[in-house]
Chain A
Amino acid sequence: MSVPRFWRRIKNLYNLIGTHCEKCGGFFYPPRNMCPKCRRNGIVNPFKFKGAGVVVTYTIVHTAAKDYAKLTPYILAIIKLDEGPSLTSQVICDHSQIHIGMRVKSAFRKLGEESDKGMIYYGTKFVPMEEKA
């Protein structure tokens, strides 16, 4: 991913900032600048999510894309945040511990890197709720 493309999303990726529609009350993460329900009538503003949620489903990725190969095997999951929206991220925990319905919370982590000299991506991953992040 190019530098400007990543840079533009830093606030969302680092701090779990999505959007909220004041018209219908919908919460969006990833952020959307148009409310999918109210469309043009929506009033959409930035919203910082608390970072608590539950694992909807997960997998353990053994074969990854090039930039993520060093991380394998890693846990990829869909997490439903307590405010409503679901997102895709990684869960950092023992592989025997992960399960559907597990409570998790957000943590600032390295996402990946392009090469030894390339850009390093940081962002939000998740850890088990009981663990100190």
Chain B
Amino acid sequence: MRDVAIIGVGCTEFGELWDKSFRELFVEAGVSAIEDANVQGGKIDALYVGNMSGGRFIEQEHLGALIADYSGLASLNVPSTRVEAACASGGLALRQGILAVASGYHDIVVAGGAEKMTDVGVETTTDALAAAADREWEGIMGATFPGLYAMIAKLHMHKYGTTQEQLAAVAVKNHHNGTMNPKAQFQNEISIETVINSLMVADPLRVFDCSPITDGASAVVIAPAEIAKKYCDTPIYVKASAQASGTISLHDRPDITTVDATVAAAKWAYKMAKLKPNDIGFAEVHDCFTIAEICAIEDLGFVKKGEGGPATESGMTAIGGKIPINPSGGLKACGHPVGATGVKQAVEITLQLRGEAGKRQINGAEIGLTHNVGGSGGTAVVHIFGREK
């Protein structure tokens, strides 16, 4: 296996982008990534694209071919593969790209993710997202995604004393980080009161505890580490790539408040990178709901089980805190175009490690982690990146 590096990144703005089509979005993200890497199109050996539900959102499947074609790579017959794992589709596409380069099968690979969620009404969007849970045994019983995460939150509060204010603190922090990200869907500050007085979706989760519906695309260019410096001054090295499965239904999970797929993927990633949770400088984690970030920082080993709420409230996870979480604004404020999210997380880590994150720059960032989850925990992907091999 070869060492692998990210040599270029690109991302569209995230938001309700009614004037942009799916194909315009991924071309924009892909072009900015290959321009950043200073790579010619003819050098690209393969494409991997994360997308959850093109069939439902834009009534279009066969997205690999569409993307290759509209990126001008069909004439070169470049292989292009769509990867799906619900909200973890992007993280998985990134991992497929990394594996393809690490194995020696391909040299220059573009891994991207794209989702166009606002071409259909919110009912269709909600129903398409619900397909990430078990349709036959959760959906038919009236389970919604906020409902599933609300049940996690309810039990977390019951077992560990986590409060509504601690959940809200996740949203407040991520909105604050979003104010410093020009690509974020929400760039406004909110207060604890805004969150806890907002519309109830599924008790105890309110609208401001939930990530939004978003259009957007992101892409990275991956190359073997030994030639990375030919393309860029500061390649960002992949120190670990790990993926784990869990039960598709929340009710089958051994502990409702622990995403065991995250625990497993993190364990393997730390082992691969020869690092401990303490060595990680900052992370982009999967905060599809505020409770998800609290569980994530626990399951990734940054704090003990049950201490995610107080840790967030204390400012430990803010930029400038002991371990900044979601400097991009996370899914909550930057937005959550489901297939693009996992790749966007790697884009943010790369910008931070290069020192190019602008106002939200974390000082002295050397090692960053990404954590992407599909559904209520059926899939988890963890990557660790560093400035050094």
Residues of A within 8 A of B (CB): 1, 5-6, 9, 13, 30, 56-66, 68, 71, 74, 76-78, 85-90, 100, 111-112, 121, 123
12 contacts between A and B (CB under 8 A): A1-B139, A57-B154, A59-B147, A59-B202, A60-B202, A61-B147, A62-B201, A64-B144, A65-B123, A78-B151, A78-B251, A86-B251
B135, A1: Cβ atoms under 8 Å? yes
B251, A63: Cβ atoms under 8 Å? no
Instruction: List, in ascending order, chain B residues with CB within 8 A of A6's CB.
Output: 140
A100, B154: Cβ atoms under 8 Å? yes
Q: Given the complex of chains A and B, what is the CA–CA distance between A64 and B148 in angstroms? A: 12
- Interface presence of B193 (CB below 8 A): no
Which chain A residue lies CB-closest to B142?
A68
Number of B interface residues in the complex (CB < 8 A): 36
Give the contacting residue for A57; candidates B142, B158, B200; CB below 8 A: B158
Instruction: List, in ascending order, chain A residues with CB within 8 A of B152's CB.
Output: 57
In chain B between 337 and 352, which residues have their CB closer than 8 angstroms to a CB of chain A? Answer: none
Instruction: List, in ascending order, chain B residues with CB within 8 A of A61's CB.
Output: 142, 144, 146-147, 150, 202
Q: Given the complex of chains A and B, what is the CA–CA distance between A58 and B249 in angstroms? A: 15
**Apart from A78-B251, A100-B158: 6 A-B pairs, beta carbons within 8 A:** A57-B155, A60-B203, A62-B202, A66-B127, A78-B256, A87-B141
Q: How many A-B residue pairs have CB under 8 A?
A: 104
A123, B140: Cβ atoms under 8 Å? yes
Which chain A residue lies CB-closest to B158?
A100
Known A-B contacts A57-B151, A76-B202; the reply to A88 vs B158 at CB < 8 A is no
Nearest CB of B to A133, in Å: 17
A76, B151: Cβ atoms under 8 Å? yes
Which chain B residue lies CB-closest to A68?
B142
Instruction: List, in ascending order, chain A residues with CB within 8 A of B135's CB.
Output: 1
Q: Given the complex of chains A and B, what is the CA–CA distance between A100 and B200 in angstroms? A: 20
Q: Which 5 A-B pairs have the closest CB atoms?
A: A59-B150, A57-B155, A30-B137, A86-B251, A60-B203
Instruction: List, in ascending order, chain B residues with CB within 8 A of A60's CB.
Output: 200, 202-203
Q: Given the complex of chains A and B, what is the CA–CA distance between A111 and B136 in angstroms? A: 12
A90, B123: Cβ atoms under 8 Å? no
Give the contacting residue for A65; candidates B126, B153, B249, B250; CB below 8 A: B126
Instruction: List, in ascending order, chain A residues with CB within 8 A of B203's CB.
Output: 59-60, 62
A88, B251: Cβ atoms under 8 Å? yes
Nearest CB of B to A18, in Å: 10
Known A-B contacts A30-B137, A71-B142, A100-B154; the reply to A78 vs B123 at CB < 8 A is no
Nearest CB of B to A104, in Å: 14
B126, A88: Cβ atoms under 8 Å? no
B151, A90: Cβ atoms under 8 Å? no
Q: Given the complex of chains A and B, what is the CA–CA distance between A100 and B156 in angstroms? A: 11
Which chain B residue lies CB-closest to A31?
B137
Q: Taking each of A63, A71, A100, which has the highest tally of chain B beta carbons within 10 Å of its own beta carbon?
A: A63
Give the contacting residue for A30; candidates B136, B147, B201, B250; CB below 8 A: B136
Instruction: List, in ascending order, chain B residues with CB within 8 A of A65's CB.
Output: 123, 126-127, 130, 139, 142, 144
Known A-B contacts A1-B135, A60-B203, A76-B147; the reply to A90 vs B127 at CB < 8 A is no
Q: Given the complex of chains A and B, what is the CA–CA distance between A56 and B152 in angstroms? A: 10
Nearest CB of B to A19, in Å: 13
Nearest CB of A to B253, in Å: 9
Instruction: List, in ascending order, chain B residues with CB within 8 A of A59's CB.
Output: 147, 150-151, 153-154, 202-205
Instruction: List, in ascending order, chain B residues with CB within 8 A of A76's CB.
Output: 141-143, 147, 150-151, 202
Q: Given the complex of chains A and B, what is the CA–CA distance between A62 and B200 in angstroms? A: 6
Nearest CB of B to A109, in Å: 11
Nearest CB of A to B312, in Å: 21
Q: Given the complex of chains A and B, what is the CA–CA distance between A86 and B147 in angstroms? A: 16
Nearest CB of A to B252, in Å: 7
Instruction: List, in ascending order, chain B residues with CB within 8 A of A71's CB.
Output: 142
- Interface presence of B16 (CB below 8 A): no
Instruction: List, in ascending order, chain B residues with CB within 8 A of A85's CB.
Output: 252
Which chain B residue lies CB-closest to A69?
B123
Give the contacting residue for B141; candidates A58, A62, A86, A90; CB below 8 A: A90
Q: Given the complex of chains A and B, what is the CA–CA distance between A57 and B138 in angstroms? A: 14
Nearest CB of A to B255, in Å: 10
Which chain A residue lies CB-closest to B210?
A63
Kindly supply a per-residue 1/0 record for chain B positions 229-253, scoring 1 wherever the CB is within 8 Å of any chain A CB and 0 otherwise.
0000000000000000000011110
Q: Taking each of A62, A85, A88, A112, which has the highest tally of chain B beta carbons within 10 Å of its own beta carbon?
A: A88
Instruction: List, in ascending order, chain B residues with CB within 8 A of A30's CB.
Output: 134, 136-137, 249
Q: Given the complex of chains A and B, what is the CA–CA distance between A77 and B158 in angstroms? A: 14
Kindly supply a per-residue 1/0 record for chain B positions 106-135, scoring 1 wherever the CB is within 8 Å of any chain A CB and 0 otherwise.
000000000000000001001100100011
